[in-house]
Amino acid sequence: MSADLPVWDALKFGYLPTDVVYGVEGDAEADPPWAEGGVAAEHELRLPVAAAALSYGTGIIEGLKAERSADGRVLLFRLADHAARFFRSAERMLLLPFPEERFVAAVKQLVRANARFIPPAGHGTFYVRPLEFAIEPMLGLRQGRRFMVTLYGCPVGDLGHGAVGALKVLDIPRSSKGGTAEAKAIVNYGGVLLHRERARREGFDDVLFTGAGAVQETTGTNVFCRLHSGELVTPRLDGRFLGGITRDSVLHLARAEGLEVDERELRVQEILDHGQELFCTGTATGVRNVARLVHKDREKTFTQGELGETLGQRLSAIRAGSVPDPFGWTDEVSL
Ligand SMILES: Cc1ncc(COP(=O)(O)O)c(C=O)c1O
């Protein structure tokens, strides 16, 4: 046993070493392209200094959760959907796509081997971070041939409590058409950090990216707005931001409740003029209401904890296995 267990009541959203990480290498010209792979105690990677991903950002990530139910089962949330997105992200970044059934097996192997790090029911979750990147030495940008898939995981608490405070609207797109934002590519993150840090220095919690006045996403969540008319709107997937799996789950839950739900263009102006409630969705964040939205000299304060909280609680209950899962979203891991 290598790593110490955390104090369950003091868990935050952050990295902690565990017993094992998963690793496997792939070679596009080998048969079969992916080696057998497996878990090992070593938590550090050894890479050539010229490994392609380090120079060119040819890498992708995923993020999903395992959780203990009150009756002692370990449940993974929307595993197949994360496997499918990992595959699509690899295709977009010209990496060697990792077969979905291999992804599913690797996540289960990692979770099983780190079972003692899965928090007790109600005390947090086990966050799994799969990565894939191009590892062969490369000077001069070209499509790679050799890749590594690595998965680590750690126990986490919530990313935050209560409402997201204030969001600052930026007249900057996360991505334009043909960009990388619809993939979970590592190049989507480093570049937006500056925007978020500047906004944080002004007292905001995050920024909201927009393209020509249309809402896209924050640095790490999708957004929903409930208008005074009762309509629940989230931006239609247009290739310029990430199609969140939490977003999709909230859409299913809202439709199952019989709400009027629309995936369409959502304009900042419309939120400022007609928005009643605004919330963010993401695997790490869950569903969190936004207190305030600021765009230039306009500001809007929202109703708190109504629909966002209800949908968030429904989602958490399904994920934690405390209510039936009518959508087949949870996968039990046999320990
Ligand atoms: C840029 C971005 N948008 C949206 C999301 C929400 O996606 P999901 O609900 O699949 O976690 C994430 C999650 O990491 C993200 O990084």
Rounded to two decimals, what is the model's pTM?
A: 0.98
Q: Are residues 123 and 188 in the same domain?
A: no
**Confidence at residue 1, expressed as pLDDT on a 0 to 100 scale:** 54
- Nearest-angstrom CA–CA distance, 135 and 105: 23
pLDDT band at 158 (very low <50, low <70, confident <90, very high): confident
pLDDT band at 258 (very low <50, low <70, confident <90, very high): very high
**Confidence at residue 70, expressed as pLDDT on a 0 to 100 scale:** 97
Q: How far is CA 45 from CA 22, 58, 222, in A?
A: 11, 16, 32
Where does a domain end: 156, 174, 208? 156
* β-strand partners of 134: 147
Residue 146 sits at φ, ψ, to 5 deg, of -110, 135
**Confidence at residue 7, expressed as pLDDT on a 0 to 100 scale:** 96
Best CA proximity match to 43, nearest among 123, 117, 121, 146: 117
| Average pLDDT in the chain | 96
Q: Are residues 127 and 249 in the same domain?
A: no
Q: State which residues form the domain around 146.
A: 8-156
Rounded to the nearest angstrom, the distance between the alpha carbon of 318 and the centre of ligand 1 is: 19
**Confidence at residue 159, expressed as pLDDT on a 0 to 100 scale:** 78
Question: What is the rounded average pLDDT of the residues 79-98?
Answer: 98
In ligand 1, the atom with minimum distance to the C-alpha of 242 is 3
Q: Are residues 184 and 307 in the same domain?
A: yes
Q: Does 172 reside within a domain?
A: yes
Q: Are residues 307 and 284 in the same domain?
A: yes
37 HSE (CA, 13 A, CB side) = 26
Q: For position 203, which CATH number holds? A: 3.20.10.10
Which DSSP category does 318 fall into?
Answer: H
Q: Are residues 127 and 197 in the same domain?
A: no
Q: Does 79 reside within a domain?
A: yes
DSSP sequence for 62-123 = --EEEEE-TTS-EEEESHHHHHHHHHHHHHHTT--PPPHHHHHHHHHHHHHHTGGGSPPTTS
Q: Does 62 reside within a domain?
A: yes
- 184 among known catalytic residues: yes
Catalytic residue among 168, 184, 296, 300: 184
- Nearest-angstrom CA–CA distance, 315 and 254: 10
18 CB less than 6 Å from ligand 1? no
Q: Are residues 179 and 206 in the same domain?
A: yes
pLDDT at 160 over 80: no
pLDDT tens digits for 135-145?
Answer: 999 999 999 99
Question: What is the rounded average pLDDT of the residues 138-163?
Answer: 92
Of all residues in the chain, the percent with pLDDT exceeding 70 is 99
Q: Are residues 132 and 176 in the same domain?
A: no
pLDDT tens digits for 218-242?
Answer: 999 999 999 999 999 999 999 999 9
Q: What are the structure tokens assigned to 28, written together?
A: 């596009």
Q: Does 189 reside within a domain?
A: yes
Of all residues in the chain, the percent with pLDDT exceeding 90 is 96
Q: What helix, strand, coil percent values describe the chain, rounded to 5?
A: 25, 30, 45
Q: Does 327 reside within a domain?
A: no
Q: For position 151, which CATH number holds? A: 3.30.470.10
Q: Are residues 81 and 200 in the same domain?
A: no
Q: Are residues 191 and 122 in the same domain?
A: no
Question: What is the rounded average pLDDT of the residues 308-329?
Answer: 97
245 CB less than 6 Å from ligand 1? yes
Q: What are the structure tokens assigned to 32, written together?
A: 């079969």
- Nearest-angstrom CA–CA distance, 269 and 266: 9
pLDDT tens digits for 167-223?
Answer: 999 999 999 999 999 999 999 999 999 999 999 999 999 999 999 999 999 999 999
Q: Does 227 reside within a domain?
A: yes
Q: Are residues 194 and 123 in the same domain?
A: no
- Nearest-angstrom CA–CA distance, 138 and 145: 10
Q: Are residues 92 and 186 in the same domain?
A: no
Q: Are residues 134 and 180 in the same domain?
A: no
Question: What is the rounded average pLDDT of the residues 287-315?
Answer: 95
| Total tally of structural domains belonging to the chain | 2
Q: Does 260 reside within a domain?
A: yes
